[in-house]
């Protein structure tokens, strides 16, 4: 325990004052949770901390069993169910149900309403079919990779980590020689799980409201012959369509919105879905065919690659940029330093990327990366941890 009694009282009083002012705002809620976490972590001793981590692992295991066996779907949304009834519904011995449920009732996920009798809480209903459970399944899938990290890092060289066919993920699934996406494709069930989770996550990541695309109006109207925005590896064009709508069809000047991706991706997009967008087959390891565009845009692309491959991709883009072209990289921007009690999502996302051969970057790392290809960072636009790093060719 790191604080004296007086310090703990001061913290408790600060928390009480914040609680009295709390009106339900998301930012206020996170700040209040942070204060509570800091106080809790300061109170626990090293053994407490070890036991807390072990509790997390056991809780996630119990959750995994219940989710995979459909237990939460079999529980009534209103009312309760006994361990015997639930065991019969999911073909699991009631005594095992009781033992697993101890981890979930003890952590507040399930409500224990009587002897071996359970009811849903809002925290368990989130594991019913939908976006949250898709994300949870992805987390469990990645956990299987994490279990073999010690063996991987003990036996691999630093260069192995940079090889997309020797990632911790492919190692964990005994498929070295294959990329992360090839490992996924080898299992239809695993691929479906990943695609569902990514679709849901993508829907929650902002495209607009970070970089002010509309502020380029004067520059675009002055040179309408230049492509306005080239979305490299842009998938189904969701970013271009959003920006096109925000800028009212690029202010009616006819400037091009170019969507670049693999042929198989582009062929799956109907003309109606890509209205106002020029589709262009492109491999970003090759020369960029669109020269001197106003914007070259990478959204959630570069974090899939460690620096050597990211630099290779960037060099092809930078070679096509004109003096006033902008390079926009939309990715997480890792905070410069961690703080106890803060939102840990940027850091565990970086752990995911480490497993599959990628890397989330801090502002300093973006500046170093872009500087290596002759690009100066002129702005970092942020919304939460999501950022858009703006760069121009150094003059």
Query: pLDDT tens-digit profile of 323-332?
Result: 999 999 999 9
Residue from 87, 95, 94 nearest 71 by CA: 87
pLDDT beyond 80 at 202: no
Say whether both 181 and 81 belong to one domain.
Answer: no
Say whether both 247 and 311 belong to one domain.
Answer: yes
- pLDDT for the residue numbered 250: 59
> Beta-strand (E) ranges in the chain?
81-82, 111-114, 117-119, 229-232, 257-261, 278-281, 295-299, 326-334, 361-362, 375-383, 386-393
Residue from 70, 75, 140 nearest 111 by CA: 75
> Beta-strand (E) ranges in 191-285?
229-232, 257-261, 278-281
41 found inside a domain:
yes
- Give residue 253's pLDDT band: very low, low, confident or very high (50, 70, 90): low
Residue from 334, 308, 332, 329 nearest 375 by CA: 329
- Residues 364, 367, 371: CA angle, nearest 5 degrees: 145
- Can you tell me the mean pLDDT for 380-384? 95
Structure tokens at 352: 């995911």
- pLDDT for the residue numbered 1: 54
In this structure, of 178-187, 241-250, 295-304, the range with the lowest mean pLDDT score is: 241-250
d(CA 312, CA 316): 7
Say whether both 348 and 234 belong to one domain.
Answer: yes
Catalytic residue among 120, 178, 294, 303: 303
**What range does the domain containing 343 cover?**
213-393
In the block, which residue shows the tokens 């080898």?
186
Say whether both 362 and 247 belong to one domain.
Answer: yes
Say whether both 186 and 223 belong to one domain.
Answer: no
pLDDT beyond 80 at 199: no
pLDDT beyond 70 at 203: no
Query: pLDDT tens-digit profile of 3-16?
Result: 788 888 988 999 99
166 found inside a domain:
yes
What are the backbone dihedrals phi and psi of residue 90, each rounded to the nearest 5 degrees, phi first? Answer: -115, 10
Chosen domain end from 149, 184, 203: 203
In this structure, of 107-111, 203-207, 377-381, 391-395, the range with the lowest mean pLDDT score is: 203-207
Question: Between the CA atoms of 41, 45, 47 and 51, what dihedral angle is there, to the nearest 10 degrees?
Answer: -30
Chosen domain end from 125, 157, 184: 125
pLDDT beyond 80 at 201: no
Rg of the chain in Å (alpha carbons): 25
- Give residue 254's pLDDT band: very low, low, confident or very high (50, 70, 90): low
Say whether both 77 and 165 belong to one domain.
Answer: no
d(CA 355, CA 164): 10
CB 210 within 8 A of CB 381: yes
Query: pLDDT tens-digit profile of 215-224?
Result: 998 898 899 8
Say whether both 317 and 333 belong to one domain.
Answer: yes
- pLDDT for the residue numbered 249: 61
Say whether both 29 and 51 belong to one domain.
Answer: yes
- Can you tell me the mean pLDDT for 106-134? 94
Q: Residue 248: exposed, middle, or buried by beta-carbon count in 10 A (0-12, 13-18, 19+)?
A: exposed
Domain count, the chain: 3
Say whether both 250 and 337 belong to one domain.
Answer: yes
In this predicted model, which residue has the larger pLDDT, 145 or 200?
145
Q: Establish whether 303 is a catalytic residue.
A: yes
pLDDT beyond 90 at 190: no
- pLDDT for the residue numbered 255: 65
Chosen domain end from 75, 91, 125: 125
Query: pLDDT tens-digit profile of 52-70?
Result: 999 999 999 999 999 999 9
- pLDDT for the residue numbered 195: 84
- pLDDT for the residue numbered 389: 98
CB 86 within 8 A of CB 69: no
287 found inside a domain:
yes
273 found inside a domain:
yes
d(CA 254, CA 176): 48
Query: pLDDT tens-digit profile of 260-282?
Result: 999 999 999 998 898 889 999 99
- Give residue 125's pLDDT band: very low, low, confident or very high (50, 70, 90): very high
Say whether both 138 and 164 belong to one domain.
Answer: yes
Q: Residue 46: exposed, middle, or buried by beta-carbon count in 10 A (0-12, 13-18, 19+)?
A: exposed
Say whether both 166 and 217 belong to one domain.
Answer: no
- Give residue 246's pLDDT band: very low, low, confident or very high (50, 70, 90): confident
Q: What is the CATH classification number for the domain harbouring 106?
A: 1.10.10.10
Say whether both 191 and 80 belong to one domain.
Answer: no
Query: pLDDT tens-digit profile of 140-177?
Result: 999 989 999 999 999 999 899 899 999 999 999 999 99
Rounded mean pLDDT of the chain?
93
- pLDDT for the residue numbered 178: 96
208 found inside a domain:
no
- pLDDT for the residue numbered 296: 98
42 found inside a domain:
yes
- pLDDT for the residue numbered 245: 86
- Can you tell me the mean pLDDT for 341-356? 93
Structure tokens at 220: 């675009």
Structure tokens at 342: 């803060």
Question: Between the CA atoms of 329, 334, 336 and 340, what dihedral angle is there, to the nearest 10 degrees?
Answer: 160
Three-state secondary-structure class, residue 205: coil
């Amino acid at each position: 325990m790191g604080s004296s009694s007086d310090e703990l009282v001061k913290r408790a009083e600060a928390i009480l004052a914040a609680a009295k002012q709390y009106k339900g705002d998301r930012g206020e809620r996170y700040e209040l949770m942070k204060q509570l976490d800091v106080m809790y972590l300061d109170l626990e001793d090293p053994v407490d901390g070890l036991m807390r981590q072990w509790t997390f692992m056991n809780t996630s295991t119990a959750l995994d069993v219940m989710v995979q066996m459909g237990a939460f779907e079999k529980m009534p949304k209103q009312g309760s169910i006994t361990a015997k009834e639930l065991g019969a519904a999911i073909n699991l011995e009631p005594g095992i149900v009781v033992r697993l449920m101890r981890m979930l009732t003890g952590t507040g996920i399930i409500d224990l309403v009587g002897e071996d009798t359970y009811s849903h809480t809002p925290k368990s209903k989130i594991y019913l079919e939908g976006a949250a459970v898709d994300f949870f399944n992805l987390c469990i899938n990645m956990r299987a990779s994490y279990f073999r990290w010690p063996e991987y890092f003990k036996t691999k060289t630093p260069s192995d980590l940079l090889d997309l066919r020797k990632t911790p993920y492919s190692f964990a699934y005994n498929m070295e020689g294959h990329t992360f996406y090839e490992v996924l494709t080898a299992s239809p069930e695993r691929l479906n799980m990943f695609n569902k989770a990514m679709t849901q996550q993508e829907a929650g990541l902002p495209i607009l409201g970070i970089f002010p695309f509309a502020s380029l109006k004067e520059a675009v109207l002055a040179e309408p012959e230049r492509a306005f925005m080239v979305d490299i590896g842009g998938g189904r064009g969701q970013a271009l369509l959003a920006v096109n709508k925000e800028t009212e069809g690029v202010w009616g000047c006819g400037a091009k919105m170019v969507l670049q991706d693999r042929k198989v991706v582009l062929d799956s997009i109907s003309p109606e879905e890509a209205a106002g967008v020029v589709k262009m087959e492109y491999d970003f390891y090759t020369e960029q065919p669109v020269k001197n565009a106003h914007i070259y845009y990478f959204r959630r692309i570069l974090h899939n690659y460690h620096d050597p491959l990211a630099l290779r991709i960037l060099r092809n883009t930078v070679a096509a940029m004109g003096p006033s072209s902008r390079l926009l990289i939309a990715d997480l921007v890792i905070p410069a330093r961690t703080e106890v009690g803060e939102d840990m999502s940027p850091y565990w996302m970086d752990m995911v990327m480490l497993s599959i051969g990628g890397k989330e970057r801090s502002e300093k790392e973006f500046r170093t990366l872009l500087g290596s290809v002759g690009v100066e960072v002129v702005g970092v636009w942020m919304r939460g941890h999501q950022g858009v790093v703006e760069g121009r060719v150094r003059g």
